[in-house]
Chain A
């Protein structure tokens, strides 16, 4: 895959190959006296070694190390700067914990999560439809591709302003702004995904008389799925940034509102505490829900064997 696990694969590959060679030899008597050849058609490292357990631990260790390093740099930098410029990690975490003891904090976080997810779901649904049209039809592509380019160019803050002017200072404004900001990027991803579909597989399926619905279910969707997941993740990132902007401009709840409030008071500690809080929420979603779902759906790429 990435060339870093090349050491051991040869071994398992060789073992697997010799096993089959032995089996072949048993069936083909004249091959008995021959040395087991290495399959010349096999590209190097085609059989990918399961990630050794020690390596997986090493990955986690490295991750922890990288976070610790970040915190240390933050701490050291904060020693040289005043609290209004860069407070250290300890006061920020303390502020965050204090905030979490107040009920209103959860109202604000909940409001932002609701806006982000509602907007992202609309963006993904719309982007899926548009991306499929653009990927499957040449006319659709020619018609919409400049729309996507224009959409990508417009800054999120413009969508925010437009949303508020259209819908007023409410959730609808935030949700529409998020959906519009994320839509072009999602469309682009699905569009590329559909274009990358291996048509020789569709041809194979037709040769075996697969019905169209079966082709959609077993060949098209599995190939677009990784792009859909990537689009969803990307939309989530954009959505959170846009939500903050809209809340900052005109709403009276949400993480963005809190950021604006503490910015008004020049309270850097609280600004960082709120940023940290929502970062943790997004990371929790990423690691507890998104990553497991993704690795299950794309397990055929990395796992050696179905469990």
Chain B
């Protein structure tokens, strides 16, 4: 049973969405991926390639069409959600605008069995971390878009999840805030040893953050490149090694695009 040695195991996962009166849309095709416990894996791919769908599947919010997903030894599906604590950070803030910033962070904690006192402490801690400690009593609509996004991130982190599913959480932030939060994320990951799955279309971000980088293709999504990044943390944004990896990955993206074009051309012919 070497299968169970991996924390997350995606085995030949295919996801299709039925379209009325046409062929089903295949978003993910025969994707296999093993993820070790405690790794920070970036999934890098062109936009619209099914990365978010993949996260939904892993969170048990949707069922695979074929294949299987196992998290911590449990097969995942809509009927059978995982036993691990999963935190989520989205591309957009998705805050409850009628609740204070603090309540927004606290609510998922209470739902997941954290006591009220502990939840308040954690909300304060993680709001401080994203630089919004003094805005806890504000309603979200009083904050700028970037600030709302940081609240959303604090919400995902405050759960102190075993597995964090991050869906381009920094893409809407200004570069300086994003840089700082990336470093904080890596630091938290190093200290806690939790597993993070980070979806992005930003090559530099993926290279800087992850212990392993998985490049997936455009729809239907499958693994194009699986690359360990061995540069030790904490990393420096100006590190030459990282820059070389970034260049390499960019080249791979070009190869991937050319292949996709050729495939499309041969299909048309």
Taking Cβ atoms with an 8 Å cutoff, the residues of A that contact B are 13, 17, 19-20, 23-24, 27-28, 31, 34, 37, 39-43, 46-48, 200-201, 203-204, 206-211, 214, 218-219, 222, 299-301, 303-306
23 A-B interface contacts by CB (under 8 A): A19-B134, A20-B147, A24-B131, A28-B176, A40-B146, A41-B145, A41-B149, A41-B172, A42-B144, A42-B145, A42-B147, A48-B141, A201-B96, A203-B94, A208-B88, A209-B81, A209-B108, A209-B112, A222-B96, A222-B98, A300-B140, A301-B97, A301-B141
Q: Which residue of A has the minimal Cβ distance to B165?
A: A207
Given contacts A41-B144, A210-B108, contact A303 B81 (CB under 8 A): no
Give chain B's interface residue range (CB within 8 Å of chain A): 35 or more
Given contacts A31-B176, A201-B96, A218-B99, contact A47 B142 (CB under 8 A): yes
Whether the pair A206, B61 counts as a contact (CB closer than 8 A) is yes
B174 within 8 Å of A (CB atoms): yes
Closest 8 CB pairs of A and B: A42-B144, A41-B146, A208-B108, A300-B139, A204-B94, A207-B88, A39-B146, A46-B144
Q: A13, A41, A214: which contacts B174 (Cβ < 8 A)?
A: A41
Complex CA gap A34/B143 in Å reads: 23
Complex CA gap A47/B159 in Å reads: 28
Given contacts A305-B137, A305-B142, contact A207 B59 (CB under 8 A): yes
Residues of A within 8 A of B94 (CB): 200-201, 203-204
Complex CA gap A39/B146 in Å reads: 7
Q: A193 to chain B: closest CB distance in Å?
A: 14
Q: Which residue of B has the minimal Cβ distance to A210?
A: B111
Whether the pair A24, B145 counts as a contact (CB closer than 8 A) is no
Whether the pair B143, A47 counts as a contact (CB closer than 8 A) is yes
Q: A49 to chain B: closest CB distance in Å?
A: 10
Whether the pair B144, A39 counts as a contact (CB closer than 8 A) is yes
Given contacts A24-B180, A218-B96, A218-B107, contact A39 B61 (CB under 8 A): no
Residues of B within 8 A of A37 (CB): 174, 176
Taking Cβ atoms with an 8 Å cutoff, the residues of B that contact A are 56, 59, 61, 81, 86-88, 90, 92, 94, 96-100, 107-108, 111-112, 131-132, 134, 137-147, 149, 159, 165, 172-174, 176-177, 179-180, 183
Q: B137, B145, B174: which contacts A43 (Cβ < 8 A)?
A: B145
Whether the pair A208, B159 counts as a contact (CB closer than 8 A) is yes
Given contacts A208-B108, A301-B141, A306-B100, contact A42 B61 (CB under 8 A): no
Q: Which residue of A has the minimal Cβ distance to B110?
A: A214
Whether the pair B108, A200 counts as a contact (CB closer than 8 A) is no
Whether the pair A204, B144 counts as a contact (CB closer than 8 A) is no
Complex CA gap A174/B49 in Å reads: 60
Whether the pair A27, B142 counts as a contact (CB closer than 8 A) is no
Residues of B within 8 A of A42 (CB): 144-147
Whether the pair A39, B147 counts as a contact (CB closer than 8 A) is yes
Residues of B within 8 A of A201 (CB): 94, 96
Complex CA gap A214/B59 in Å reads: 19
Q: Which residue of A has the minimal Cβ distance to B108?
A: A208
Complex CA gap A292/B248 in Å reads: 62
Q: A128 to chain B: closest CB distance in Å?
A: 19
Whether the pair A24, B137 counts as a contact (CB closer than 8 A) is no
Whether the pair A208, B176 counts as a contact (CB closer than 8 A) is no
Complex CA gap A222/B139 in Å reads: 14
Q: A5 to chain B: closest CB distance in Å?
A: 14
Residues of A within 8 A of B92 (CB): 200
Q: Which residue of A has the minimal Cβ distance to B144?
A: A42
Q: A196 to chain B: closest CB distance in Å?
A: 13
Counting chain B CB atoms within 10 Å of each CB, the highest count among A41, A204, A305 belongs to A41
Complex CA gap A17/B132 in Å reads: 11
